[in-house]
Structure 1
C-alpha cells in the first residue's frame, strides 16, 4: 500500500495551503493509500542545536551514508537528546513513498516551522531518490512565470533545489493557489475572481494527482 507523509506548516488553522493539502490527502486515502500526518505549526519541531551538528560532523568524518546507520554517530547524552527529536521525524520520512507538504509562502519563502523540520531531517550525503514530493502551496500574490513578482519566488525555488540538490529527489510537483490576499486586501479585490479560479484549478489538480500517484504505485 503506497504511504504518504502529510506535513502542514501554515500558522493558520484554516488556510488555503491546508485546504489544498487536505484535498490531496483525502483523495489519496479514498484511493486506498495510507497516511502519516504531522502538523508542524501545531506541534513545532525545535531548531537544530550544537549536538545535532556534532552528529553531522561524525557522519562526514566516517563517510556514513546508510540511513540505518545514522544513529551510530550518537555518542554523548546531548547527542542522544538531539537524536531523540530526529529519529521519529526521520522514520516518518523514510517510510513515505510520497511526501506532501502544505506550504504557504511567507515573506517570499517558506514558514520557519517547515524550515526547522527540513533542518532536523537533513544529514550529509543523504539520498532519498525514488520518492516523490508534492507541495500544496498558497501565495498572497502571483508568482507564476511572467508575473512581476516571479523573481521573488524563493518558496518553490528553495524546495525544488533542496529536494534535488540534497535528497536527490527529482520528482517534485507544485500545486499553487495564487492571489490569496485578494480575499482580505481591498487593493487586490479586483483579482478575487482570478484567485477563485486558481484555487479551484489547484483543488482539482490535487485530487487528480493523488489518484494518479496511487494508480501508478499499485500497477
Structure 2
C-alpha cells in the first residue's frame, strides 16, 4: 500500500507553501484512495529541539558502527538517552513507513523554519539512509532566488535541503515545487512584480497537482 507523509512548517495558516503541499496531497490521495496518508503540522505542534541525550545516542551510533535503523533503540542505555529515543522513535517511524515524504515549507531569512530544522535534527543519525524514499518539497519565497536571479546566491533553502537529503539520507533526487515573489502580494516595492509571482504561483500549483497524480 502506498504511503505519504505530509509535513507543513509554515507559521502562517494561509501560507502558499501549505496551499502547494495540499494540492499535491489532494491529488495523491485521489490517485491512491486506499493509500496511507499521515499529516504532521510542525508549526502548530513543534518537535522539541535535540538535547544532550540525542547527542549521546549519536556518539553511540558512531562508536558501535551501527547503520541499522532497526537497532537504534538498543543503543539507548541511560535515562537521558531513552528519553531522547522516545521523541525520535515515532518521528522516524513515520518517515520509514512512507514511500513519499512531502514537505511544505516557506523560505525564512534565506533558509528554512526552525520547526523544520528541529524535525530534521531529531530523525537524523550518522551514516543512515532513507533511500529509495522520494522527497518532495513545496515551497514559497518572498523574493526571487532561482538560477540567474540577482539573489540566487542567498538561497540557503533549496540548496541546504538538497545537500541535507543527499548527505544524510542518501536521497539524491528530491523534487522542489516553488512559487517565488510571494511578497509582491503585500510589499508595495514589489507590486510591479505581481504578474511574475502570479505566473510562478500558477505554474507551481499545476506542478503540485500533476506530481501528486504521478507519485
Aligned residue number for residue 182 of structure 1: 184
| Unaligned residue ranges in structure 1 (runs of 5+) | 214-219
Question: Alpha carbon RMSD of aligned pairs, Å?
Answer: 0.7
After superposition, the C-alpha distances for 1:15-35 in whole angstroms (9 at most, x for unaligned) are 000000000000010001331
Once the 2 structures are TM-superposed, how far is the Cα of residue 149 of structure 1 from its aligned partner? 0.3
Paired residue for 2:45, among 24, 43, 46? 43
Scaled by the length of structure 2, the TM-score of the pair is 0.98
Aligned residue number for residue 13 of structure 2: 13
CA distance in 2, matches of 1:128, 1:45: 20
Contact 1:131 1:171 in 2 (8 A): no
Q: SS where residue 169 of structure 2 aligns?
A: coil
Paired residue for 1:171, among 170, 173, 177? 173
Aligned pairs for 1:186-201 within 5 A: 186-201=188-203
Aligned residue number for residue 216 of structure 1: none
The answer to which of 26-35 and 52-61 deviates more is 26-35
Once the 2 structures are TM-superposed, how far is the Cα of residue 134 of structure 1 from its aligned partner? 0.4
Aligned residue number for residue 27 of structure 2: 27
Task: Write out the 4+ residue segments of structure 1 that deviate beyond 4 Å after TM superposition.
Answer: none
Tell me if 1:208 matches 2:210. Answer: yes
Aligned pairs for 1:57-136 within 5 A: 57-136=59-138
Contact 1:136 1:175 in 2 (8 A): yes
Once the 2 structures are TM-superposed, how far is the Cα of residue 166 of structure 1 from its aligned partner? 1.0
CA distance in 2, matches of 1:172, 1:14: 25
After superposition, the C-alpha distances for 1:156-203 in whole angstroms (9 at most, x for unaligned) are 000000001110001200000000000000000011111111111101
After superposition, the C-alpha distances for 1:111-170 in whole angstroms (9 at most, x for unaligned) are 000000000000011011111100000000011110000111000000000001110001
Aligned length: 213
CA distance in 1, matches of 2:67, 2:142: 39
Q: SS where residue 82 of structure 1 aligns?
A: helix
CA distance in 1, matches of 2:9, 2:142: 16
CA distance in 2, matches of 1:46, 1:40: 10
